[in-house]
Chains A and B, each alone.
Chain A
Amino acid sequence: MVGLNHYLTLSAILFCVGIFGVLTRRNAIGILMSIELMFNAVNINFVAFSKFVTPTGFAGQIFAIFVITVAAAEATVGLAIVLLIYRNYKGINVDQINIMKW
């Protein structure tokens, strides 16, 4: 029987993979993808809690759909930024983008 704890464990593993990706990837696209992973971990949490804690309501599911929507929008903007970075730096390695220091 698959219970709440299984979902939460999966979600935690996914989130950690996402964070790891965000912190370690040098490729901007990779970072964006890792962020998507983190979103999905969160979505699993939402749906799991909705199913096991408030079985009668659908607030969790609906929130997950919102997150997916926003994530899609975010990915669009993110890819646009990456594209511009590529044009300016002839590459998308985030190590090169260090103009935010002092």
Chain B
Amino acid sequence: MLPYSWIIPLFPLISFVAIVFFTNRKPKLSSLVSIGAICLSFLFSLIVLGMVLKNPVTSEFKFTWIDLLGLKVQMGMLIDPLAAVMLLVVSTVSMLVHIYSVGYMEGDPRFSRFFSFLSLFSFSMLGLVIANNFFEIFIFWELVGLTSYLLIGFWFEKKVAADAGKKAFITTRTGDLGFIIGILILTTAAGTFNFTEIFHQVEAGHVSAGLLTLSAIFLFGGAVGKSAQFPLHVWLPDAMEGPTPVSALIHAATMVAAGVYLVARTITIYLAAPDAALVVASIGCFTAFLAASIGLVQNDIKRVLAYSTISQLGYMIMVLGLGGMTAGIFHLYTHAFFKALLFLGAGSVIHAIHTNDIWEMGGLYPKMKTTAITFIIASLSISGIFPLSGFWSKDEILAVASHYPNPIFLIVGILVAGMTSFYMFRLCFVTFFGKPRDQHKFEHAHESPKVMTIPLMILAFLAVFAGWVGIPWLKHGFSSFVYHHHPHHVEPDFLLMLISTIVALSGIYLAYAMYYKKSISPEKLKEKFAFPYKVLYNKYYFDELYHAIIVNPLLRLCDRLFVKFDLGVIDWLVNAVGNFTVFLSDIKEWFDSHIVDGMVNGTAYVTRGVGSGLRKVQTGQVQTYAFVIFFGLVLIILFKLG
């Protein structure tokens, strides 16, 4: 089976092609094709995971695609526990999102197209996960970027959505520039694109430390873009303009996971370049805090979740930078489920009352029980409440951080955990409890159809239990499956567990007090901390800053270039060519009117001259004619006789 793992990404690709070319006109059929394909991918991912679990070795299958004077570009697959876990996570979340979309996107005029994009997205991500070399991973990396652009801008009639798509594309592209530079440095140094060969050379010390650090930092640039880390995090909240299932897919399993996966995949390089790893950890740590603090005050349900995603990704990146590859991937794995659940739950709410603003919601619990309960489960999970899956993964991250000499990572980690539980339960209390704030919308609210709630329930189940494979007391748990070189067993640290639980619970209590019991007035706090509130509410003015220092200067530069270059050089060239053409035409015109026309007219003139000469012969006098005839006859006779 393993050598045939390539069929896992193949199914969605076939579905994409089939929908685009054959079933585009039949929405029902298109969705069935798409769902069928991803279900098959899911089944095969399960099989692959089962086989890898039974025999956890790294297997590689490859063939040479292009031979560039000795630099062989390969296509292939690298199936190891990391890839197997990722395959399952991606295909599970993707499958549930596919099913959910049938309900959410119902009646959309571009229903079929949506499913074809979803298929393409799944294909790209699954392909990325099994890639065995940098060249291949870059191809799929860019495909993921492209499809995310297509999906975020899916409702392109809305200008904000189209702009968000562009923003996501351009921002991630900025990071990808670093990625490709990193790849080129590494390939030049190691002479191959292949992961395993590069890692061998790195571990054998064949690559100089300076180059390694440089390439590691550049590679991380790609991850920063895709996984929305500071300073390229700005695209992700805007990506909320896409349909909610897309947000779930992007945030949970595909797009943003790609960056984390890349760092995990190349963890060998970071372990060999501690300076780069420190950069990774610092950026992750800073992002986690930054995004969580913004998430505290946002009013759009999906934006809060978006900042939560950025913050959780920061967590993963941080712990990867600290060398905790197992912990990072474990958190990616649990996060995929509860974050997908949160987004799909939010989508269900939005579907019911047609607004994203949490201050227009409220009291929805009795109306949407399934959604509310699953949403709260996910919130508990992300807050790290015992014994939900989020608890185990977050705890492992904190455990790794606690072993690092500098306590800053641990402190920020715990702080972020508290903020996370606060803003998540702020959402829960404001959305589902209290009095309905918009009576009209409230009356319209209804539970979503089964096709949407069943994926929610499945995800809720996973959000509770998926993390149990990583319980530290398990002998053959997650950490003895996905690891780098040596299984990394974190000793359960009860003190740490206690602290993180207390922090999480106090975050929940604070939210409860502020937004349910109203014993602490959020308004007064807002007035008291007006300045920090404003800064947070405006997301630290990152968008404004980027506009001021990058976008606007660029636009101004373009303006100036327009005047100087476009008008001065290009237009001048165009005009010069135009004038030259006119000049040529003039010559030709003279030639035509004098030579060609002269010949034509000359012919006519000669003909007319000859004609007017000859017509004198025709006198109209019958006698003249008769004379000529007679004279001719006489001549003939004389000729005959003579």
**A residues within 8 Å of B by Cβ?**
19, 22-24, 31, 94-95, 97-102
> Which of A22, A99, A100, A102 has most B Cβ within 10 Å?
A102
Q: Does B610 belong to the interface (CB within 8 Å)? A: no
Q: Does B565 belong to the interface (CB within 8 Å)? A: no
Residues in B neighbouring A100, C-beta threshold 8 A: 618, 620, 622
Closest to B624 in A: A23
Tally of contact residues, B, Cβ under 8 A = 10
Instruction: Give 30 pairs: A residue, B residue, CB < 8 Å, sorted on A.
Output: A19-B630, A22-B623, A22-B626, A23-B623, A23-B626, A23-B627, A23-B630, A24-B623, A31-B623, A94-B621, A94-B622, A94-B623, A95-B621, A97-B620, A97-B622, A98-B619, A98-B620, A98-B621, A99-B620, A100-B618, A100-B620, A100-B622, A101-B615, A101-B618, A101-B619, A101-B620, A101-B621, A102-B615, A102-B618, A102-B620
Question: Would you list the 5 A-B pairs with minimal beta carbon distance, nearest first?
Answer: A101-B620, A98-B620, A100-B620, A101-B618, A102-B615
Which of chain B's residues 600-642 have a Cβ closer than 8 Å to chain A?
Answer: 615, 618-623, 626-627, 630
Residues in A neighbouring B621, C-beta threshold 8 A: 94-95, 98, 101
A56–B244 Cα gap in the complex (Å)?
Answer: 130
Closest to A95 in B: B621
The B interface, classified by DSSP as helix, strand, loop or mixed, is helix
**B residues within 8 Å of A by Cβ?**
615, 618-623, 626-627, 630
A100–B626 Cα gap in the complex (Å)?
Answer: 14
Residues in A neighbouring B615, C-beta threshold 8 A: 101-102
A-B contact count, CB below 8 Å? 30
Q: In the complex, what's the smallest C-beta–C-beta distance from B98 to chain A, in angstroms?
A: 92
A31–B623 Cα gap in the complex (Å)?
Answer: 10
A22–B630 Cα gap in the complex (Å)?
Answer: 11
Residues in A neighbouring B619, C-beta threshold 8 A: 98, 101
Q: In the complex, what's the smallest C-beta–C-beta distance from B456 to chain A, in angstroms?
A: 103
Q: In the complex, what's the smallest C-beta–C-beta distance from A86 to chain B, in angstroms?
A: 17
Residues in B neighbouring A31, C-beta threshold 8 A: 623
Residues in A neighbouring B626, C-beta threshold 8 A: 22-23
Closest to A24 in B: B623
A94–B624 Cα gap in the complex (Å)?
Answer: 11
Q: In the complex, what's the smallest C-beta–C-beta distance from A101 to chain B, in angstroms?
A: 3
Residues in B neighbouring A101, C-beta threshold 8 A: 615, 618-621
A22–B626 Cα gap in the complex (Å)?
Answer: 8
Residues in B neighbouring A98, C-beta threshold 8 A: 619-621
Q: In the complex, what's the smallest C-beta–C-beta distance from A82 to chain B, in angstroms?
A: 13
Q: In the complex, what's the smallest C-beta–C-beta distance from B613 to chain A, in angstroms?
A: 12
Residues in A neighbouring B630, C-beta threshold 8 A: 19, 23
Residues in B neighbouring A95, C-beta threshold 8 A: 621
A102–B619 Cα gap in the complex (Å)?
Answer: 8
Q: In the complex, what's the smallest C-beta–C-beta distance from A45 to chain B, in angstroms?
A: 17
Q: In the complex, what's the smallest C-beta–C-beta distance from B621 to chain A, in angstroms?
A: 6
Closest to B614 in A: A102
Q: In the complex, what's the smallest C-beta–C-beta distance from A24 to chain B, in angstroms?
A: 8
Residues in A neighbouring B618, C-beta threshold 8 A: 100-102
Residues in B neighbouring A23, C-beta threshold 8 A: 623, 626-627, 630
Residues in B neighbouring A99, C-beta threshold 8 A: 620
Closest to A26 in B: B623
Extra pairs beyond A23-B626, A23-B627, A31-B623 (9, CB < 8 Å):
A22-B626, A24-B623, A97-B620, A98-B621, A100-B618, A101-B615, A101-B619, A101-B621, A102-B615
Residues in B neighbouring A22, C-beta threshold 8 A: 623, 626
A23–B615 Cα gap in the complex (Å)?
Answer: 21
A98–B625 Cα gap in the complex (Å)?
Answer: 12
